[in-house]
Amino acid sequence: MHNATSRFHSTRVAHLLAAVTLLICALPLASHAAGGLTATVPAPSIDAKSYILVDFRTGAVLAEKNADERVEPASLTKIMTVYAASHALKEGLIHIEDEVTISKKAWKMEGSRMFLEVGKTVSVDMLLNGIVIQSGNDASVALAEHVSGSEEVFVGLMNKHARDLGMTNTSFSDATGLPDPNNYTTARDLATLSAALIREFPEEYKRSSVKEFTFNGIRQHNRNRMLMRDATVDGIKTGHTESAGYCLISSAVRDGMRVISAVMGTASDDARTEASYALLNYGYRFFETRQLYEAKQVVAQPQVWGGAAETVALGSAQPVWATLPRGRFKDVKAVAKLDEPIMAPVQAGQVLGKMVLNLEDREITELPLAALADVPEGSLFSRLYDDLRLMLK
């Protein structure tokens, strides 16, 4: 592949360069660990075992501390319980109106509870509310048994989903998050899981914003105090055991930008709330996320040799979003690197190069450029003519 700047139509040059000057990168979670960009102002000092702050849409890491250190998830485990149950609902293995008979094992669960009664039946819908809003250990076991027949089998399902999501430092040993040597995770993995829940199951995620729930005559409040403190926060989950400390996954949306914070191992409920609030404010104050290109927007039109058309329109099949530190977008440079010469026939979707984005002589990220339409071969005369031109070139 020859690294050559593509030939743009003059009407597209100004548009492309204007968009590129706005671009920092669509940072993956790994970019920060490899020396990714940071804001001009350092992240707030957070007294926690570990934490991470990420942009939901792009996965850009905005701040982190010991994000890959293994920690106990406590009741944050229930995010995976809900995620796995949501998959079962989507696949038709269970149904939201199913009535679940409460087992003795579920009824006897200690810790936070929905106050289920053994032998009674409760709908899947109610159990999900009990897990998300009340953090019910009893509800978690009851739902696990309904999905997989036993909590043990359900845990295997939880760990499969974790592997599928790339949660490489996570292991679950139960559906509730009780202390166990085989129950561990990281702040980064929990942020990945939380983003997947929001992205794949937005209707189930909405339960996270409900502030209170009454069942069996008992009224309980959502333990996530961020819901009462910040109107932009709509989730996600608290967790606490003596060994894990106080943990909190929060997510908020401001001006169309969603961020997720995972705070692990603080000393108190107040501490996890203050830490989460500080991280969210930091993310919104010093970073921004915006769409740079629409799906199938033309960003380059290089020449096609031997084709029925002289050029082929290139762009991305998906919308392109980017997260950037405020004040740095003006420093980014973009170069289109194409497979040249481009010979007909060309098929729509065929990748013909990439756009490389650089900051301070460092490659930040790259965007595949694919043909947006077919370009069939031209006539015999046009092909011979282009062959001659290529020979002379």
CA distance 297 to 319: 8
Residue of 67, 66, 127, 69 lying closest to 100 (CA atoms): 127
pLDDT of residue 124: 98
Average pLDDT of every residue of the chain:
88
Find all residues with CB under 8 Å of 47, minimum gap 6, and list them: 266, 267, 271, 275
CA distance 61 to 70: 18
Q: What is the pLDDT of residues 340-353, one digit of tens each?
A: 899 999 999 999 99
Helix (H) or strand (E) holding 146: helix 137-148
Residue 367 has pLDDT above 90, yes or no: no
Mean pLDDT of 289-311: 90
Please state the φ and ψ torsions of residue 262, each to the nearest 5 degrees.
-125, 115
CA distance 142 to 104: 9
Least confident of 63-67, 193-197, 351-355: 351-355
Two tokens, residue 314? 């290139």
pLDDT of residue 20: 33
Mean pLDDT of 94-121: 97
pLDDT of residue 38: 62
135 is catalytic: yes
CA distance 52 to 158: 22
182: DSSP letter: T
Task: Tell whether the torsion through CA atoms of 53, 59, 61 and 67 is positive or negative.
Answer: positive
> pTM of the prediction?
0.85
Q: What is the pLDDT of residues 10-65, one digit of tens each?
A: 333 333 333 332 333 333 333 333 234 467 789 999 999 999 999 999 999 999 99
CATH assignment, 10-25+292-392: 2.60.410.10
CATH 3.40.710.10 domain position(s) in the chain = 48-266
Least confident of 256-270, 303-317, 358-372: 358-372
Spell out where the chain has E strands.
Answer: 50-55, 61-65, 99-101, 121-123, 212-215, 218-221, 233-241, 245-254, 257-266, 287-293, 304-305, 314-315, 320-325, 332-338, 342-343, 351-359, 362-371
Higher-pLDDT residue of 313, 26: 313
Inter-CA distances, 240 with 176, 178, 237, 244, 327, Å: 11, 9, 10, 6, 39
Render 285-303 in DSSP notation, one character per residue: HHEEEEEEE-TT---B--B
CATH 2.60.410.10 domain position(s) in the chain = 10-25+292-392
Q: What is the pLDDT of residues 109-138, one digit of tens each?
A: 999 999 999 999 999 999 999 999 999 999
Higher-pLDDT residue of 355, 169: 169
CA distance 189 to 333: 32
pLDDT of residue 229: 95
Find all residues with CB under 8 Å of 163, minimum gap 6, and list them: none
Q: What is the pLDDT of residues 239-249, one digit of tens each?
A: 999 999 999 99
The reply to whether omega before 236 is within 30° of 0 (cis) is yes
Residue 1 has pLDDT above 80, yes or no: no
Least confident of 125-139, 177-191, 328-342: 328-342
Residues of the chain with pLDDT > 90, as a percent, come to 74
* Catalytic pick among 6, 75, 251, 276: 75
Residue of 65, 12, 34, 36 lying closest to 323 (CA atoms): 36
pLDDT of residue 360: 77
What band does 280 get if pLDDT is binned at 50, 70 and 90? very high
Q: Helix or strand or coil: residue 86?
A: helix
75 is catalytic: yes
Mean pLDDT of 158-166: 98
* Catalytic pick among 6, 31, 135, 173: 135
CA distance 80 to 157: 10
CATH of 48-266, one of 3.30.70.1230, 2.20.70.10, 3.40.50.800, 3.40.710.10: 3.40.710.10
Mean pLDDT of 164-170: 98
78 is catalytic: yes
* Catalytic pick among 49, 78, 237, 354: 78
Least confident of 25-29, 55-59, 172-176, 383-387: 25-29
Cβ contact 277:313 at 8 Å? no
Higher-pLDDT residue of 20, 175: 175
pLDDT of residue 10: 31
Q: Helix or strand or coil: residue 196?
A: helix
